[in-house]
Amino acid sequence: MSDQIELPQTGFLRLKSIIAPNGPIPVSKSTWWAGVKDGRFPKPVKLGERITVWRVEDIRALMENGAA
């Protein structure tokens, strides 16, 4: 298994693909939502009433800036 997390070039990611233990950002769900609220993490996109996603480009930028 590779240490590198493979993200698609474009598209959207659900929260479970972004945060630990499956995603590249090592934070908990509550820490993630607190970071979204205070601007440390990217704002989500609502695709439906119960579907929240983030743009891959925003997550890549977050990882490159080392904000996690």
Answer yes or no: is pLDDT of 68 > 70: no
Reading the block at residue 50, the tokens are 């119960």
The answer to whether 36 and 30 are in contact (CB under 8 A) is no
Tell me how far the alpha carbon of residue 24 is from its chain's centroid: 8
The pLDDT tens digits for 2-39 are: 455 688 899 999 999 999 998 999 999 999 999 999 99
Q: Which amino acid is at 19?
A: I
How far apart CA 45 and CA 51 sit, in angstroms, is 9
Please compute, for residue 65, the number of CA atoms within 13 A of its CA located in the half-sphere on the CB side.
Answer: 11
* Domain ranges across the chain: 12-65
Going by pLDDT thresholds of 50, 70 and 90, the confidence category of residue 67 is: low
Q: pTM for the complete prediction?
A: 0.85
Q: Which residue has the tokens 């698609």?
A: 8
